[in-house]
Amino acid sequence: MRTPDEVVAMQRLHGLGWGTRRIAAEIGCNRETVQRYLAAGGWAPCRVPTRPSLLVGHTAWLDERLRRHRGNADVVRQELASELGIVVSLRTVERAVSHLRRELAAEALATVRFETPPGRQLQIDFGQRRIAIDDEPGKVFLFVATLGYSRRIYAAPFRHERQSSWLEGIEGAFRHFGGLPGEMLLDNASALVQHHDPVTREVEFNSRLHAFTRYWDVRPVACAPYRARTKGKDERGVGYVKHNAIAGRRFASWGALEEHLSWWMREVADTRVHGTTGEAPIVRFEREERQALRPLNGRPPFRQLRELNRRVQADACVDVDTNHYSVPWRLIGAEVSVVVGDNQVRIHHAGLEVACHDKRLGRRERAVDRAHLHGIVPCRPDPAHDLNIVSPAVLPSIDLILHDFRGHPEASFELEVFDGSAGDEDQAAFLHGGLQAPGRGPGGRRRAHADGGGGRGWSAPDAAVPVGAPV
């Protein structure tokens, strides 16, 4: 295909009397090409043959699915094949939804500034920052709450971003501002929101958040999914705390960090001139927003209790939020109820409290009461008998069988130990039927003697334990 300028030159030379052969030599093309353009009377673009698209008539379906999948055309292509039986290429789908993708991109960037009246809205969010505390750098989670009208900020540090931290931070903001807003604009964090449909905008809040907001009579509002700008005041507030209050600082202790944030909120954040309002947040708050907040009326904090079910592990501990809390070793393998409070973790079994620990605030920490493990270390075998030590995992079963013997110094017990050649049937009898005497194993018996007065000699007549029982 020749360019429009070349076709104009062909027509001009032809008007001067040049023949098609000479024109073709001058332009650098075939004689037939010159003849074709002269017959057409000028340049014209090539016509691309069109064919009806397989997606005609499915515009509304494509628009709905593209919004549901947040602009992912490949997922839409997969659902076209699975639901409608239409098999097309990804490029075909992209062409069909190109106009909507441009709309979604523009919608994500578009921002409409709005002002909330005094006392109407509190915006909350979390941010993360690595901070050196006692010369140990670590991740600190910063809760930030911003009043929508005055732009007053409340900030508090936490060691995690679990639901308890969210609720404690919100209550700290209520106390700091001295009142309750009408609504609370929050992020779609999994600790707060169960589900938020990006198409219908239907929100399902966490049940405990529901109880919390009913207790304080505050209406929760979730920002649009993937639209953090919905709560722009607080998004900027988080960045302000991270880059002004915390930037480059080191703290001697966690308490020092909390004291610094309290000073910073009072002396810096409250008194600066805000770039949008042109006033200091504290001035705007005292003039119009303080009286618009509803009073707390001395209401105590919302009691944060979580009830969990856990199975006791082989180390006589239960796992709660990655931390481990011990229980009496007799409960290994049992189901227990765990009540997690603000400061304590209480563990119950069969309606009785079996353990109580101070709540661990970090991750992968262990809270072990040594009394819970008393007696599970097996007695030292007599070297003359060359005994194998029984796995600690079987000791709880041994103790349950010999419970009646303990505390009797005059009693003498005998523990028979089979070696690892015991048959599968014997193993099953031991594991599922309790500690029994399944009979003589192929490996023969060895005996160990100990008295019962000290509570550590755990053996009984004809009690058999396969050596190497699984932990």
Look at residue 448 and tell me whether its pLDDT is greater than 70: no
Choose one of 328, 351, 373: the last residue of a domain. Answer: 373
Per-residue model confidence (pLDDT) at position 466: 38
**Residue 135 resides in a domain:** yes
Rounded-to-integer distance, Cα 348 and Cα 163, Å: 23
Tens-digit pLDDT profile for residues 3-60: 888 889 999 999 898 999 999 999 889 999 999 889 888 877 766 656 667 888 888 8
Whole-number pLDDT of residue 461: 38
What is the spatial distance between Cα 263 and Cα 245, in angstroms, rounded to a whole number? 10
> Domain boundary residue among 78, 109, 140?
109
Q: Quick: pLDDT tens for 108-155.
A: 665 555 578 999 999 999 999 999 999 899 999 999 999 999 999 999
Residues 105 and 128 in one domain: no
pLDDT in tens, 336-363: 999 998 789 999 999 899 999 999 988 8
pTM: 0.52
Q: What is the pLDDT of residues 362-376, one digit of tens each?
A: 889 999 999 998 877
Residues 232 and 254 in one domain: yes
Determine the Cα–Cα distance for residues 463 and 14; give it in Å rounded to an integer: 117
Does residue 67 lie within any of the structural domains? yes
In this structure, the answer to whether residues 198 and 291 fall within a common structural domain is yes
Using alpha carbons, select from 196, 151, 148, 144 the residue that is nearest to residue 172: 144
Three-state SS at 278: coil
- On average, the pLDDT of the chain sits at 78
How many Å is the Cα radius of gyration of the chain? 38
pLDDT value of residue 412: 44
* Confidence category of residue 72, pLDDT binned at 50, 70, 90: confident
* Both tokens assigned to 89: 């290429």
Per-residue pLDDT at 152: 95
> Is 186 in the same domain as 133?
yes
Count of domains for the chain: 4
Residue 274 DSSP class: P
| Predicted local distance difference test score (pLDDT) of residue 56 | 80
Last residue of a domain, one of 373, 394, 412: 373
In a domain, 148, yes or no: yes
In this structure, the answer to whether residues 131 and 261 fall within a common structural domain is yes
Residue 455 lies in a domain: no
Q: How many CB atoms lie within 10 A of CB 65?
A: 21
User: Do 223 and 181 reside in the same domain of the chain?
Assistant: yes
**C-alpha distances in angstroms, 241 versus 127, 170, 227, 237, 269?**
9, 17, 21, 6, 9
Query: Worst-scoring range by mean pLDDT, 18-22, 364-368, 403-407, 451-455?
Result: 451-455
Provide the pLDDT for residue 109: 60
Statement to judge: residues 239 and 291 lie in one domain? yes
pLDDT-based confidence at 393, cuts 50/70/90? low
For 360, phi and psi rounded to 5 degrees?
-85, 130
* Secondary structure (3-state) at 133: strand
Flag whether 278 is in a domain: yes
Cβ count within 10 A of residue 444: 10
Residues 186, 211, single domain; the answer is yes
Residues 13 and 141 in one domain: no
Q: Which residues of 90-110 are buried (b: 16+ CB within 10 A; e: fewer)?
A: eebbeebbeebeeeeeeeeee
pLDDT in tens, 157-168: 999 998 889 999
In the block, tokens 């109820």 appear at 337
Here the tokens at position 383 are 């070297």
Strand partners, 183: 121, 219
421 in a structural domain: no
The answer for residues whose C-beta is within 8 angstroms of residue 267's C-beta and 6 or more apart is: none
Whether 423 is covered by a domain: the verdict is no
Q: Which tens digits make up the pLDDT trace of 292-327?
A: 999 998 888 887 778 889 999 999 999 999 999 999
Is 92 domain-assigned?
A: yes
CATH number of the domain residue 277 falls in: 3.30.420.10
Same domain, 195 and 279: yes
> Per DSSP, which regions of 206-248 are E strands?
219-222
Residue 276: pLDDT over 90: no
Q: How far apart are CA 193 and CA 224, in angstroms?
A: 12
Q: For residue 67, what are the domain limits? A: 58-109
- Are 132 and 32 contained in the same domain? no
What is the pLDDT at residue 71?
79
Rounded to an integer, the average pLDDT of 411-438 is 38
Distances (CA, A) of 398 to 101, 316, 419, 430: 68, 16, 17, 11
Residues 152 and 289 occupy one common structural domain: yes
